[in-house]
Amino acid sequence: MHGRADQIDVPVEISPTGDDAARSHQHILERPMPGHTAYAAVFDRIEQGSCTLWMHNEARARDVTIEGGSVTELDWRAN
């Protein structure tokens, strides 16, 4: 999940679709990259299927599809 510099250390939560209470979280962190800096929350070991992403206890993206063996990206820089 791509974020902004003013969102550093904001927790982003993820839960399986239909089970809003089963959340895990990561924080948006500064991630130095060649030539620029990214701000992102990176979730690893996520089960494939559908999920909801949360910020400030508000569902920000529902029914996000996670496919096995691939990377799913969301861009919240404009939000």
Please report where in the chains the tokens 């529902």 appear, as a residue.
62
* Residue pLDDT, tens place only, 3-54: 999 999 999 999 999 999 999 999 999 999 999 999 999 998 898 999 999 9
Smallest Cα–Cα separation from 28: which of 8, 56, 55, 45? Answer: 8
The answer to whether 3 and 39 have CB atoms below 8 angstroms apart is yes
Please report where in the chains the tokens 């990176």 appear, as a residue.
42
Confidence band of 78 (pLDDT split at 50, 70, 90): confident
Q: What is the spatial distance between Cα 76 and Cα 1, in angstroms, rounded to a whole number?
A: 7
Q: What is the pTM of this model?
A: 0.88
